[in-house]
Structure 1
Amino acid sequence: MAQPRIVVVGAGFAGLSALRRLERKIPKGAAELVLITPNDYMLYQPLLPQVASGLITPQSIAASLHRTLSRTRMVPGAAIGVDTESRTVVVRKISGETSFERYDRLLLAPGSNTRVFDIPGLVEYGRGNKNLAEAVYLRDHVLAQLELANASTDPAERDERCTFIVVGGGYTGVETAASLRLLCDEACRRYPALREHVQWHLVDIAPALMPELGESLGKSALRLLRQRGVEVSLEVSVREVTADKVTLTDDRVLPSRTLIWTAGTAPSPLMVATGLKTDRGKLVVTPELHAPDAPEVFAIGDSAAVPDLSKGEGALCPPTAQHASRQGPTAADNIIASLIGGRAGRYHHKDLGLLVDLSGKDALARPLGYEVTGLPALAITRAYHLLALHSGPGRARVAANWAIRSLLGGEVSRLGFLDRRVDTLVDTEEAAQYLDPDQARQRVASAPPRP
């Protein structure tokens, strides 16, 4: 009898935690494990703002999958379609070739994409901070603007290059603005004439920063940002973006050549491409984490509409790393139960708290409902990050990076990534590649016979 094949799409917090559980609990030779992912590492996204500022190195938050997984066959590419009738995933490999992966059980954990709106110029001129390429590029871009401003004799150009705008008052936006503001302060030691010109703006349509933190810590975050020199504008968004200015919805026109877009995420288009039921783009699943109409298909993480049983009344789990990493083991256990006839468990998790690292010596934390600020919050936040990293070498590198910066300061220099093709907001996500269910079936039907 052939081994059952379990295919996992995505190696983020959700997918990797599920695969690690599957490798531990399934005896060797009892099932074939397949992972579809474009990269051979798991990216620890919460520390991307510190990569963008140069506080830590990119390799530190890229945990090698080959070191973490020992029995999983990896397919280097992206899942672009699913034919649920023939139980086949359509894969576009990193080489551009198309391949097909049959499954007996499918776990979808593709993560999320950048959420964009129909704002003129946003896609062309906006920049994100959602992957390593964008983070490293962003650092180079910010430093390049300061170098060019210092070399310019045109006051208008200098103002445009020294004005930076971050859109989004969530964790990524707040941490990115705080971290990059510190980077500019360090760079201005070389360019003292630019100090009075450098401006950082954080805008968000919401009435408060990070409402999940609570009113008190949200106000603390606002105060700390303003102390850093970041001008925060709430209940304001972007109306238009051009190459050298940004128009806000309160009619202000800011001269700027840098708009960093961190205004939320959107579900992966792969979920709609399955043809299964979705809720605002997220694949609908039961509390046991499988699709109601396709019990062999499981979904977890940012793009799954997972019921939040701790809140009830139709609430869904928020797209956080904390939920994703805990949904993985539950999904793995339920996949095993579905293969051997066991009883499936429901995903239920109590929130353990929230953490915000503003770089420097500033942090905010709410572990188990207790509000903590200052150095204690920084210690809690960084201890959590070290524990949450999936790589021993990564933990050592991150800890060393923090120690080096604290003791010796940082290196303010560009790394030469400005020629990389990540200069528009959605280049790295390619949402147009996904197939609808009919296209997926046609592609599978036309495929060569399986060996």
Structure 2
Amino acid sequence: MNRQDRGDRVIMRRPRIVIVGAGFAGYSAARKLSRLARGAADIVLLNPTDYFLYLPLLPEVATGVLEPRRISVSLPATLPGVRLVLGEATGIELDRKWVAYADPEGGSGELGYDRLVLAAGSVNKLLPIPGVAEHAHGFRGIPEALYLRDHVTRQIELADSADDPAQRQARCTFVVVGAGYTGTEVAAHGALFTDDLVERHPGLRDQPVRWLLLDLADRVLPDLDERLSTTASRVLRQRGVDVRTGTSVREATPDGVHLSDGTHVPTRTLVWCVGVRPDPLVADLGLATNHGRLVVDEYLTVPGHPDVYACGDAAAVPDLTRPGEITAMTAQHATRQGRLAARNIAASYNQGVRRTYRHHDLGFVVDLGGPQAAADPLGVPLGGPLAKAVTAGYHLLAMPGNRVRTAADWLLNAVLPRHTVQLGLVRAPAVPLDTATPELPRTP
């Protein structure tokens, strides 16, 4: 507690803890702090939206399996004792201890803090490839998922009415760049989605629908165990996905992509899943970075600023299990780092003892749509329906809310045909690839 003397009175002021960002790291930090503080601190969460997005299930939103609200967990409803401020951080003054922000309606404000948690997360990673920024779309937020669902549906419908065979083929060709988690799941789910769409358009029964998955690595899921990669590759190829390793985009144009192997692929769809980069807010701080991520010590504090903590994708957290390396940008790390930041902040107020971050992976899950998945819980490689059950169970346990509704949608999708209509809610100009806020549609 902070003390303020006014005459003969001593007023105890609750310390203010400001958390920037409500992704996996920020949400976990806020939730843990609310339980530890028990009203003894003013916990403020600054975020552009009023929900936590469970990002791993975003491909199912893009392909009509889940509705967007299933993976959007309300912040006010699940974070008691935490005050939500809607806005995006625009600057941080470390000496004055305040955070400047812009609200959704164009206003601005400032938040003073006693402790600061930087969990701004990440945005789409850009590469200097001609035409990509203009013609590709990322996959980091609900607006992008809704746009992709409408766009893919629209391409199939327009192909059905097109007389030109070349145009039909271009509209029925979908290119995904990046064969990591996101790209692999988007291609796997997308192939099933277009199969359902084509069934509703008899004129396309004889029209091949192509999905291409590109990556410069020598295999899909290059950062995971090779056995998971093998399972994912087999499922993708069984669904007709053209997996091209050692290949990427050399140039993107309005009517197709030129690949690094010299071929040209006519298409109207380019999904950019090559990875992520820290939120631009990190670079604006003027502090030391490592691969664009804010340098912190093993306690998640910023050197020279003991009242500032950073975690998740925005932070270069030392990996104590692999000396000299930093932790990967995964939801597992972000969640655990957020909790540790909360504990160490509590320890700074003499509640508990601060700890270093040390984490051992318990395994990974990759949802491939339908009854297929790849998983290695505790290092045991699984595939097929058993892996699917493990994957679904993991996601339901990891989600901080909406579990029953999500499970109900999965059950309905298993017995009923999925909805395949375009709502027209998000158009291409609203979801540019080069954006610092993929969670918000841009106003053209």
TM-score (norm 2): 0.93
Q: What are the within-5 Å matches in structure 2 for residues 28-107 of structure 1?
A: 28=39, 30-107=40-117
Asked if structure 2 preserves the Cα contact closer than 8 Å seen for 1:365 and 1:372, the reply is yes
**Unmatched tracts of structure 1, length 5 or more:** 432-451
**How far off its partner does 1:31 sit?**
1.5
Asked if structure 1 preserves the Cα contact closer than 8 Å seen for 2:124 and 2:435, the reply is no
Are positions 1:147 and 2:157 aligned together? Answer: yes
Asked if structure 2 preserves the Cα contact closer than 8 Å seen for 1:276 and 1:293, the reply is no
In the alignment, residue 422 of structure 1 is paired with which amino acid?
A
Are positions 1:231 and 2:242 aligned together? Answer: yes
| 3-state SS, counterpart of residue 313 of structure 2 | coil
Are positions 1:221 and 2:225 aligned together? Answer: no
**How far off its partner does 1:428 sit?**
6.0
Please tell me the root mean square deviation across aligned C-alpha atoms, in Å. Answer: 1.5
Are positions 1:401 and 2:401 aligned together? Answer: no
Are positions 1:415 and 2:423 aligned together? Answer: yes
Q: Distance in 2 between matches of 1:261 and 1:230?
A: 16
Q: Distance in 1 between matches of 2:166 and 2:426?
A: 23
The Cα offsets for residues 354-401 of structure 1, whole Å up to 9 and x where unpaired, read as 00011111100011111011111000000000011111xx11111011
Q: Distance in 1 between matches of 2:305 and 2:435?
A: 32
Q: Distance in 2 between matches of 1:40 and 1:420?
A: 24
After alignment, is 340-349 or 165-174 more displaced?
Answer: 340-349
In the alignment, residue 128 of structure 1 is paired with which amino acid?
G
Asked if structure 1 preserves the Cα contact closer than 8 Å seen for 2:143 and 2:438, the reply is no
**How far off its partner does 1:417 sit?**
2.2
The Cα offsets for residues 195-245 of structure 1, whole Å up to 9 and x where unpaired, read as 433111000011111123322221221111011010000011101111111
Q: Which residue of 1 aligns with 2:442?
A: none
| 3-state SS, counterpart of residue 123 of structure 2 | strand
Q: Which residue of 1 aligns with 2:34?
A: 23
Q: Which residue of 2 aligns with 1:289?
A: 300
Asked if structure 2 preserves the Cα contact closer than 8 Å seen for 1:141 and 1:418, the reply is no
In the alignment, residue 20 of structure 2 is paired with which amino acid?
V
Asked if structure 2 preserves the Cα contact closer than 8 Å seen for 1:302 and 1:319, the reply is yes
**Unmatched tracts of structure 2, length 5 or more:** 4-12, 440-444
**How far off its partner does 1:134 sit?**
0.6
Q: What are the within-5 Å matches in structure 2 for residues 36-435 of structure 1?
A: 36-195=46-205, 196-312=207-323, 314-340=324-350, 343-391=353-401, 394-419=402-427, 421-427=429-435, 429=437
Aligned sequence identity (%): 46
Q: Distance in 2 between matches of 1:190 and 1:100?
A: 53
Asked if structure 2 preserves the Cα contact closer than 8 Å seen for 1:352 and 1:367, the reply is yes
Asked if structure 2 preserves the Cα contact closer than 8 Å seen for 1:213 and 1:366, the reply is no
Asked if structure 2 preserves the Cα contact closer than 8 Å seen for 1:291 and 1:299, the reply is yes
Asked if structure 1 preserves the Cα contact closer than 8 Å seen for 2:141 and 2:438, the reply is no
Q: Distance in 2 between matches of 1:272 and 1:425?
A: 19
**How far off its partner does 1:420 sit?**
6.4
Q: Distance in 1 between matches of 2:435 and 2:135?
A: 12
Asked if structure 1 preserves the Cα contact closer than 8 Å seen for 2:185 and 2:368, the reply is yes
Could you tell me which of 6, 13, 35 is aligned with 2:24?
A: 13
TM-score (norm 1): 0.92
Asked if structure 1 preserves the Cα contact closer than 8 Å seen for 2:47 and 2:88, the reply is yes
Q: Distance in 1 between matches of 2:96 and 2:419?
A: 54
Q: Distance in 2 between matches of 1:220 and 1:149?
A: 32
Shift in CA distance, 253/138, structure 1 to aligned 2, threshold 3 Å: same
| 3-state SS, counterpart of residue 375 of structure 1 | helix
In the alignment, residue 224 of structure 2 is paired with which amino acid?
L
Q: Distance in 1 between matches of 2:431 and 2:147?
A: 8
The Cα offsets for residues 336-358 of structure 1, whole Å up to 9 and x where unpaired, read as 11233864210111101000011
**How far off its partner does 1:409 sit?**
2.4
| 3-state SS, counterpart of residue 54 of structure 1 | coil
Shift in CA distance, 279/316, structure 1 to aligned 2, threshold 3 Å: same
Q: Distance in 1 between matches of 2:339 and 2:32?
A: 6
Q: Distance in 1 between matches of 2:53 and 2:426?
A: 22
In the alignment, residue 262 of structure 1 is paired with which amino acid?
C
The Cα offsets for residues 83-137 of structure 1, whole Å up to 9 and x where unpaired, read as 1110111111111122111111100001101001111111111011210111011
Q: Distance in 2 between matches of 1:224 and 1:430?
A: 30
The Cα offsets for residues 287-311 of structure 1, whole Å up to 9 and x where unpaired, read as 0000011111100001100011112
| 3-state SS, counterpart of residue 346 of structure 1 | coil
Q: Distance in 2 between matches of 1:13 and 1:386?
A: 15
Q: Distance in 2 between matches of 1:382 and 1:304?
A: 29
